[in-house]
Amino acid sequence: MSKRKLELDALLELGTRDALRQAMRQAAPPMLTQIEQITERAAEMSPTMVELRLGVVHSYTSELLDPWLVLAGALEGLDVRIYHAPYGLNLEEADTRSDLVAHAPDITLMLLRREDLHPDLARPVAALSPEEQSVLSSQALERLFAVIGAFRANKVGNLVVTILPGLNGPALGVYDPQAERSEAAWWSALKADIGRRLRVGVEASLFLDLDEVLAQIGREAFFDPRLWYSAQFPFAAPAAHEFSRRVVALGAAMKFPKAKVIALDADNTLWGGIIGEDGFDGIALGHEYPGNAYMAFQRRLLDFQQRGFILALCSKNNPADVEQVLNDHPHQILKPGHFAAIRVNWEAKTDNLVALAEELNLGLDSFIFVDDSDYECALVRRQLPEVEVIQISARPVEVPSCLDRVSRLELLSLTAEDLKKTEMYAQERTRQQLRQSAERNGGLEGYLASLEMVMTVGIDDPAPLKRLSQLTQKTNQFNLTTRRYDELHMRRLIDASNWMVGYFSLKDVFGESGIVGLALFDHSAPTVAELDTFLMSCRVIGRKAESAFFNVLLKRLAAAGVREVLADYLPTPKNGLVTNFLPDHGFAVDANGRFFRDLIATPPLPDEAYPMAIEVAGEAAGSELGQLA
Amino acid sequence: MDLFEKLQNVIASTLKVTPDKITRETLDKDLVAWDSLAHVNLMMGLEQTFDLFLEVEDFTQLTSVPAILEYLREQGKA
């Protein structure tokens, strides 16, 4: 996309990091001499920067990326501290006593060249027969995963693997895509294998595809052959800029509250023009410019829904006008069912955002607010600083890509639950309606029974590892201790014989919740268990699921000989919801100020005490508690 | 700003040193920060600031303030 020249003075005038980031996204990369000024300006803005520790393992020059990485970090509010391992793919760094491990990186970035995967990759892949190519793939994978495994075995944070694209196109030139020995096809298949193996076999790992950076900025803008041949540094400024942005985006996704909701304005955002003034037939939405840009943006929003973000509508309009477009406009792509919640009225947008957060049971810091108006954007930035604001460009051509470089919309993992999220929120809306009518005729108990709930509890089951770790990262409200666990750590707890890791999912007449609750018990002591973590997604609140789940786990502990359970409530600004959870579940405060429950005096209840069927599944062999209970 | 001052600023910002460390006589070996990697950044900084295109061969010649000043004058940047 054609970029505008960077206006340094105007840039330095901007007041917030999100405004600065957005201006940078739309401009050409800064000059090296400008980087420092922009970095300093971004660094001094509030909130105070959070440290992001980066380790770099590299088989080509990486140090020249530093100013770009530090700039990208400052724009996100991340103070990037970089350690470069000695040059070369050095397995000595994959050691508990290495300088890399001592740096305690949040992310270890592996910068590999193609030939690091296999010496034969320095020669044309097209020279090999299909059989030889397939042998080469398996050997290259084996070699790569031996290196990855060696690093993964150490505390090096999230592993981000990259492979530098070729400086030149494929050996067979323009004919390559048609050739049986196509190099591009061979690389695509290899990348898919790498992605698959990282997904299933290597925790906390990610393949950052540099071919995507190459596709975005073009081969000629990506490589500077002068720097490559004279200093083994491949990246020209646009590549260094974009690559660093992507690396830091992963850091932002790790370090900051998870984004969950994209709250969208309607006029000049989902369509061009103002429905209240231009009318149903006057708004720009269709196959001609500028309506096609808004259609493209709506289509792009469906992509973000696939990443697990939910959409909400927040518009100042007459509700009937907006409803008419959503339901009847022939080119409107997003229908009412695509939105998890809708606020169309004349109230202040800030009030509507707060109301949306309440309705969805999510914190405001999980909101990304998208609006074209200077006034609304400034108001939200000032009144609700925890909301990230994306101001839609007044140039329609820039609208479809306006969310493409928002770091918190990048994923570190994707679970089955993410894909169904909007559907689940829509089901929740229906449930609420049923609940209100049931409460009018016969009360909560009747309503809960009418849901025909089935709870499935899993114990020490590593299969949903990603989701379990994600729950500790994302759950802020219904969470007793707010302890965060990455996948590696979670895996260790699941495997440990002295820990019990329990989770549950809930099914009812409307659908499946996916995994929504997690509890971690440390039962190292013979008769005492400690509750380390108890959390639940707010999606299933108000259905007695938390009590039923807790009871099932306490029953298993009691059956295994545990007589007393210790627990803590660690208050945060967000978890006031669970202040009374422990007292409500038979816990008293002991002499040390900790909560305890005597399982002999206050034994767990039979399953029938709860308004749902309860099944226990997914027990891993080797879990002593699983076998005993 | 004269040519030297402009150059002084480019060197200072790409090498991350204060401008007063750079005189009209400074050689690369006078500054610890002016190592081979920083030199690459300096070359890119020169290109951008003075709107030049440098060849790899120029990289190896432009290793001192006097050499760079002379090159800039030859290129009509004075």
Query: Over the stretch B11-66, which tens digit does the pLDDT of each residue have?
Result: 999 999 999 999 999 999 999 999 999 999 999 999 999 999 999 999 999 999 99
Other CB atoms closer than 10 Å to residue A348's CB: what's the count? Answer: 14
Predicted confidence at residue A628, as pLDDT, reads 40
DSSP state of A27: B
Predicted confidence at residue A370, as pLDDT, reads 98
Paired with A515 in beta bridges are A505
Q: Is B63 on the interface with A (CB under 8 A)?
A: no
Predicted confidence at residue A427, as pLDDT, reads 76
Query: What value of ipTM does the predicted structure carry?
Result: 0.92
Q: Is B61 on the interface with A (CB under 8 A)?
A: no
CA A549 – CA B61 distance, rounded (Å)? 73
Compute CA distances A113 → A108, A119, A125, A568, A604, whole Å. 16, 11, 15, 49, 58
* Minimum distance, in Å, between the CA of residue B14 and any CA atom of chain A: 6
Q: Is A232 on the interface with B (CB under 8 A)?
A: no
Paired with A596 in beta bridges are A566, A588
Paired with A84 in beta bridges are A56
State the helix-helix crossing angle for A32-44 and B36-50, rounded to 10 degrees.
Answer: 100
Token pair 């666990």 is at which residue?
Answer: A485
Paired with A192 in beta bridges are none
Q: Is B14 on the interface with A (CB under 8 A)?
A: yes
Task: Classify A613 as helix, strand or coil.
Answer: strand
Predicted confidence at residue A510, as pLDDT, reads 76
Task: Name the residue type at position A238.
Answer: P
Q: Is B5 on the interface with A (CB under 8 A)?
A: no
Whether the CB-CB separation of B30 and B20 falls below 8 Å is answered with no
Q: Is A40 on the interface with B (CB under 8 A)?
A: no
pLDDT digits (tens, 9 = 90+) for A175-199: 999 999 999 999 999 999 999 999 9
DSSP state of A407: G
Q: Smallest Cα–Cα separation from A563: which of A594, A589, A599?
A: A599
CA A327 – CA A337 distance, rounded (Å)? 10
CA B46 – CA A495 distance, rounded (Å)? 57
CA B44 – CA A68 distance, rounded (Å)? 13
Q: Which residues of chain A lie closer than 8 angstroms to B54, CB-CB?
A: 226
Predicted confidence at residue A76, as pLDDT, reads 96
Task: Classify A520 as helix, strand or coil.
Answer: strand
Given phi > 0 = left and psi -120 to 50 = alpha, else beta, which region is A336?
A: alpha
- Return the half-sphere exposure (C-beta side, CA atoms, 13 A cut-off) of residue A378: 5
The stretches in chain A having pLDDT less than 50 are 1, 619-629
Are B45 and A31 an interchain contact pair (Cβ–Cβ within 8 Å)? Answer: yes
Token pair 């994600």 is at which residue?
Answer: A470
Paired with A341 in beta bridges are A312
Q: Provide the Cα torsion A18, A22, A23, A29; round to 10°.
A: 120
- Kind plus residue range of the DSSP H or E element containing A627: helix A624-628
Q: Smallest Cα–Cα separation from B11: which of B73, B56, B75, B67?
A: B67
Task: Name the residue type at position A265.
Answer: D
Compute CA distances A535 → A197, A471, A569, whole Å. 30, 8, 11
Task: Name the residue type at position A276.
Answer: G
Are A31 and B49 an interchain contact pair (Cβ–Cβ within 8 Å)? Answer: yes
Q: Backbone phi, then psi, for A486, in 5-degree steps?
A: -80, 175
Q: Which residues of chain A lie closer than 8 angstroms to B44, CB-CB?
A: 32, 227, 237
Give the pTM: 0.76
Other CB atoms closer than 10 Å to residue A437's CB: what's the count? Answer: 11
Task: Name the residue type at position A501.
Answer: V
Task: Give the mutation candidate from B6, B13, B52 for the A interface (greatest A CB count, under 10 A).
Answer: B13
* Minimum distance, in Å, between the CA of residue B5 and any CA atom of chain A: 14
* Minimum distance, in Å, between the CA of residue A8 and any CA atom of chain B: 14
Predicted confidence at residue A401, as pLDDT, reads 94
Whether the CB-CB separation of A160 and A250 falls below 8 Å is answered with yes
Paired with A567 in beta bridges are A531, A595
Whether the CB-CB separation of A456 and A505 falls below 8 Å is answered with yes
Can you count the helices (H) and strands (E) in chain B?
4, 0
Task: Classify B34 as helix, strand or coil.
Answer: coil
Q: How many angstroms from the chain centroid is the CA of residue A210?
A: 20
* Minimum distance, in Å, between the CA of residue A240 and any CA atom of chain B: 12
Paired with A111 in beta bridges are A58, A162
* Minimum distance, in Å, between the CA of residue A132 and any CA atom of chain B: 39
CA A345 – CA A322 distance, rounded (Å)? 10
Q: How many angstroms from the chain centroid is the CA of residue A323?
A: 31
Beta-strand ranges (E) seen in A8-66 are 50-58
Task: Give the mutation candidate from A32, A61, A66 for the B interface (greatest B CB count, under 10 A).
Answer: A32
Are A64 and B37 an interchain contact pair (Cβ–Cβ within 8 Å)? Answer: yes
Paired with A615 in beta bridges are A456
Q: How many angstroms from the chain centroid is the CA of residue A172?
A: 39
